[in-house]
Amino acid sequence: MRLPNAWVVAGVAACLGVAVGGGIAMLEAASRPWRAGDFSPSGARPSGPSPIVEVPETQFAFGTVGVDAKGSHEFLIRNMGDAPLELTRGATSCTCTVSDFEQAEGGSNHAKVVPPGGTTKLKVEWRGKGDGGPFRQQASVSTNDPRRPQIVFVVEGTVIPISRAVPKTITLSKLSAGTSEQATVRVFTFGREPPMVDSLTLDNEKTAQFYSLASAPLEPTEFAAETGATGGFEISVDIRPGLPIGPLRQTIKAVFRLPEEVTIEIPVEGSVSGDLALVGQAWDSSRESLMLGTVSSRTGSQTNLFLTAKGPHRAEVKPVVRNVVPDFLEVVVGEGRPVGNGNVIRIPLSITIPPGSGTANHICSPQAPAGRIVLDTGHPDSPTLTIPVCVTIIP
């Protein structure tokens, strides 16, 4: 018998060892709480003289800063090694943060050499921008310390705006034309004094008649949880029935003093729709058609839809199939169930093309017009609902 090559034997043995060892490690790791692991970088210990970078802190929490106000912090960097420490300014997360080394006479603020035992400072500046909220920026420094080739310094805190509306926008998705609606917006303010509301107006005159606006100051307990807030007011919006069906576009403009005058705009958006809607994967809302595609008469097909009903007459909606085209379509109406708070009723519709049906072409073209499902709904304002069906049934 021919003996195996010694290299192969050694290699396979080595592999076996590595694999088994690795497998055991894997099993150990799988059974050990992974959260116990640490993130600390580990590098090779250099031989000979070497810089050792030490930073007492890499993270600075500045607390709060106002919009457009500036802040800065100096991070200390020490060289605890026995060779010069070379530092190079690296990336900053965006221009909100500027990092500079402590200026040395004739030196660059982008690079710095720190002698053994020496120190330098990295200055990080920031400016509060945006609408307020959590803020985090960072600046990185590259070093020639092989154990720590990069240090990331982080400044974080909260930007305090002049005012903040919650929510920023009132969105009313598919508002029923026949029902009233209420909404509230809380405006938190961060000025020296509590706000004095001068006016609340609406910019879209065409639909302004359907809205009523009112404001009331917030109690201290109501703005206590908002970091830095010194006052606030609540805007109540009442919307009366009768808005025209279609997109809903309105803007509430609030003018108030802190004592300086501030204007905020709160968009009201959404849509006003009829009380009945169809929902389902095969329902194409842009074409307002049930798209069943090409179906083999041999296998047939089955599709589920939901009819949703809202508005004051939703409980009266009890669909009954009046007729269908093609006539072999089978439509089963399920039991209505309330959704969430009960303002919408969900009624399942099961639409089946039974196996063995005949062929038909209702692809929704001038030559092959849509099929249809006609339902008597029970809704007094929309007693009949016609669902166009686009389908081709092939042998």
Element (H, E) at 216: strand 211-217
Least gap, CB of 118 to another protein (angstroms): 26
- CB under 8 Å to 24, separation ≥6 — which residues? none
152/332 with CB nearer another protein: 152
2/395 with CB nearer another protein: 2
- CB under 8 Å to 307, separation ≥6 — which residues? 276, 277, 278, 279, 317, 319, 346, 347, 349, 375, 377, 385
- CB under 8 Å to 255, separation ≥6 — which residues? 197, 198, 199, 200, 201, 261, 262, 263
Least gap, CB of 283 to another protein (angstroms): 6
- CB under 8 Å to 361, separation ≥6 — which residues? 368, 392, 393
Tokens of 367: 């030559």
Least gap, CB of 109 to another protein (angstroms): 17
Beta bridge partners of 249: 269
**282 and 292 Cβ atoms separated by less than 8 Å:** yes
Chain-centroid distance of CA 357 in Å reads 46
154/292 with CB nearer another protein: 154
Strand order in the sheet with 211-217: 163-166, 181-189, 231-239, 211-217
74/265 with CB nearer another protein: 265
Least gap, CB of 350 to another protein (angstroms): 14
d(CA 186, CA 67): 20
Least gap, CB of 121 to another protein (angstroms): 21
**255 and 198 Cβ atoms separated by less than 8 Å:** yes
Least gap, CB of 347 to another protein (angstroms): 10
> Cα–Cα–Cα angle for 97, 103, 109, nearest 5°?
55
37/106 with CB nearer another protein: 37
Chain-centroid distance of CA 182 in Å reads 25
Least gap, CB of 106 to another protein (angstroms): 25
249/325 with CB nearer another protein: 249
126/233 with CB nearer another protein: 126
Tokens 């669902």 appear where? 387
Least gap, CB of 19 to another protein (angstroms): 5
Tokens 């600390």 appear where? 40
Element (H, E) at 27: helix 6-31
The helix/strand/coil state of 165 is: strand
44/105 with CB nearer another protein: 44
103/184 with CB nearer another protein: 184
Least gap, CB of 272 to another protein (angstroms): 12
- Say how many C-beta atoms besides its own lie within 10 A of residue 118's C-beta: 14
136/192 with CB nearer another protein: 136
Least gap, CB of 92 to another protein (angstroms): 9
d(CA 372, CA 378): 19
Cα distances from 308 to residues 273, 339, 345, 346, 378, in angstroms, run 12, 9, 6, 5, 13
